[in-house]
Amino acid sequence: MESDEEIDSTDRLVIKYFSLGFQQKEILAFLQILHGKTMSHRTLKRLLSRLKLFRRKDYSKIEDVAKFLENELNKSGQLHGYKWMHLRCLHNKLVVTQEVVRDLLGLLDSRGVELRRKGRLRRRQYDNKGPNYLWHVDSYDKLKQYGVCINGCIDGFSRHIIWLRAGPTASDPKVIAGYFLKGVKLIGGCPKTIRCDMGTENGTMEKIQKTLHEVFNESPTSRPCFLYGKSMHNQRIEAWWSMLRKHNAQYWMNIFQILKEDNTFDGSFLDKSLIQFCFLPLIQEELDQVCLEWNIHRIRKTRNAIAPAGRPTIMYEMPSLYGANDYLINTPPFAIEQLSLECTFIQTPCDNDFYDLCCILMEENNLTRCSDPYLTINLYVDLKNKLIPLFQ
């Protein structure tokens, strides 16, 4: 007989996985493999009914769905197709079918639907033995001219995003090492191998990876733990950048292009620092959302593909379902704490002194932050007008 506390714990887990859009068989797998809770399919259906969690009845009001979609279309959601947008609806506790989302997008964003319909993506074949066998690390430079530097890491087998960070720099080796060490701490270990492009920004991460292998790899092989190569060989992360541009980065490129066309951005230190101060928190919030949605979306089977199909987070957390092994090299917390002394962890979105100055100006002039990117442009312009006399 389960205690009330255990029942509450099970309920919370079911609600969590249901709200992420997982199917019933996937929820059962999570409960059994990750949480040691065995449950029959029939019991799960009764539990979902008791919790009033349904996919095909008690649909949300069409007006609420339309209002939500309209709000998302005013942000980077304008780049999403109906399947991705349907997943976002589920995250926000809206009960709706893909068909309804598709029809509403056709009405609310007919031009965007037509533009997405013309897009095509060709994928190369790729093979990988299991989770944490090979991580791909790279930086995305399309927003670099505006002072926004994005760095990411993807697991080669599952396509699970390990980290996706936006910061003021992607060329400082200690910053990149900080991203890496945070990922190691979150997962509890390091991968068998890391692949990167040639560049000095990866030097500290390479040293940390090699140190972890020398001390904690109990089954060393002849395979190097760190690989440098050309971008064409780092295909997993390079291919994913096109997805990021399609679903997020293009939106911010359009926003910043407005500033250039209005002659309020010229690429100076002042303008880049203001972009970082005003927009980096918003960009990171959206990157976190994209990362979550990517990790739980379903990758469809493709012809002649060697890599498995399914949800990245399931392939990463439960490789046994795909006949694969986990190659994670466990790393104790004390080692991570010690190696963190070699890293830089960004605390503010821009230069510390510039950040303090902007905070003072905002307080003196009763300026506030907001989550709307277009309204944040007003904050950018107001702060620039206050700062220009101080920089002359």
Question: Does 148 map to a domain?
Answer: yes
Quick one: pLDDT at residue 122? 36
Q: How far is the C-alpha of 69 from the C-alpha of 78, rounded, in Å? A: 9
* Phi, psi dihedral angles at 132 (to 5 degrees): 65, 15
Q: What separation in angstroms does the CA of 359 have from each of 88, 284, 372, 383?
A: 33, 19, 19, 10
Question: Does 202 map to a domain?
Answer: yes
Provide block-wise average pLDDT over 10 residues at a time, the chain (392 residues).
Answer: 65 85 86 88 88 79 85 78 82 83 83 65 59 95 95 95 96 96 96 91 95 90 87 81 92 93 93 96 95 92 75 94 93 95 94 95 93 93 92 76
Q: What separation in angstroms does the CA of 127 have from each of 131, 156, 225, 239?
A: 12, 8, 17, 15
* Phi, psi dihedral angles at 138 (to 5 degrees): -160, 165
Using CB atoms within 10 Å of the CB of residue 60, give its burial: 0 to 12 exposed, 13 to 18 middle, 19+ buried. middle
Quick one: pLDDT at residue 381? 94
Quick one: pLDDT at residue 139? 94
Question: Does 377 map to a domain?
Answer: no
Q: How big is the chain by its Cα radius of gyration, in Å? A: 23
Question: Does 271 map to a domain?
Answer: no
Question: Does 348 map to a domain?
Answer: no
Q: Are 293 and 88 in contact (CB under 8 A)?
A: yes
Tell whether 36 and 73 lie within a shared domain: no
Strand partners, 155: 135
Please write down the HEC assignment for all residues of 214-266.
HHHCCCCCCCCCEEEECHHHCHHHHHHHHHHHHHHHHHHHHHHHHHHHCCCCC
Question: Does 378 map to a domain?
Answer: no
Number of domains the chain is built from: 3
Q: What separation in angstroms does the CA of 263 have from each of 14, 259, 370?
A: 51, 6, 23
Q: Are 24 and 41 in contact (CB under 8 A)?
A: yes
Tell whether 27 and 90 lie within a shared domain: no
Quick one: pLDDT at residue 125? 52
Tell whether 220 and 318 lie within a shared domain: yes
Tell whether 43 and 69 lie within a shared domain: no
Quick one: pLDDT at residue 358? 95
Tell whether 230 and 102 lie within a shared domain: no
Quick one: pLDDT at residue 121? 38
Quick one: pLDDT at residue 354? 95
- Residue identified by tokens 């809206």 is 94
In which domain, by residue range, is 67 found? 62-117
Tell whether 329 and 181 lie within a shared domain: yes
